[in-house]
Chain A
Amino acid sequence: MLLTFGAIGIGSVVGWAVSNYRISGRGLLLSLIALTAVAAEIKAISHGASIVPVSLALVASFGLRLVVLNLLRARASARP
């Protein structure tokens, strides 16, 4: 259990980092390819943890960062 939570933690950190790649101006497709490449690396370092929750954490963290960013932008542009 602890191992799974730990691997999810690593997946979340890496997902957040990959979102920087997207925010730095790369296209969504290129970012998703990067995410897939990173997921393969994560599998290698998950040290026996199930890859499913790790991948979900990776994608969730990646998406959360972009959602937060877009919410902030929408709020800023709606301001007079």
Chain B
Amino acid sequence: MQSASLIQLLGAGGLGFVIGWYVYYINRYRKSDVQISDLLTLIGAIGGGATTALFPAKTDLFGAYGIGLFAGFFSYCLFLILLVSISKNFTADWFLDGRRKKPEDPFIIPDGTAQTVRAMGGNDHGVVNG
């Protein structure tokens, strides 16, 4: 087995972190229910041919990538929890149904702002918020 240098491990972990963060982001802003094909696409994206080409099997590079993926994905979730906990406009219920305080003047939610329609629980349309 070929050993990897520290900078290579950090690079693989960093790439995994970015992909993990983005996977959570895409999942949070998706427009429809999850299908089984979506899950298989996700697996292909995070561990498919491109990853195999970058990080050969049974190497520490693949391990560093997976750890980075985990860190990036769950960091997004932790940041959401942190932001909700320090905000006066959101409570934990936001994770269930997306509820929040109605903004009062001078605050507004501009038209075109992406709706955070996925969190933890289902809403009236059977989908999840955040």
Contact = CB atoms under 8 A, between A and B. Distances in A.
Interface of A: 1-10, 12-14, 16-18, 20-21, 23-25, 34, 37-38, 41-42, 45-49, 65, 68-69, 72-73, 75-76
A13 B36 contact: no
Contact of A72 (B67, B69, B70, B120): B120
Contact of B67 (A5, A14, A16, A42): A5
Nearest to B32: A24
What band does the interface of chain B fall in when counting residues whose beta carbon is under 8 Å from A? 35 or more
B128 A20 contact: yes
Interface in B48-73: 48, 51-52, 55-60, 62-71, 73
A14 B57 contact: no
Interface of B: 9, 16, 20, 23, 27, 33-34, 36, 39-40, 42-43, 46-48, 51-52, 55-60, 62-71, 73-74, 92-93, 95-96, 118, 120-122, 126-128
A45 B40 CA distance: 12
B39 A38 contact: yes
A42 B121 CA distance: 26
B53 to A, nearest CB: 12
A29 B39 CA distance: 16
Contact of A68 (B34, B48, B120): B120
A13 B127 contact: no
Contacts of B71: 9
Nearest to A4: B63
Contacts of A47: 47, 52, 55-59, 62
Contact of B122 (A1, A16, A25): A25
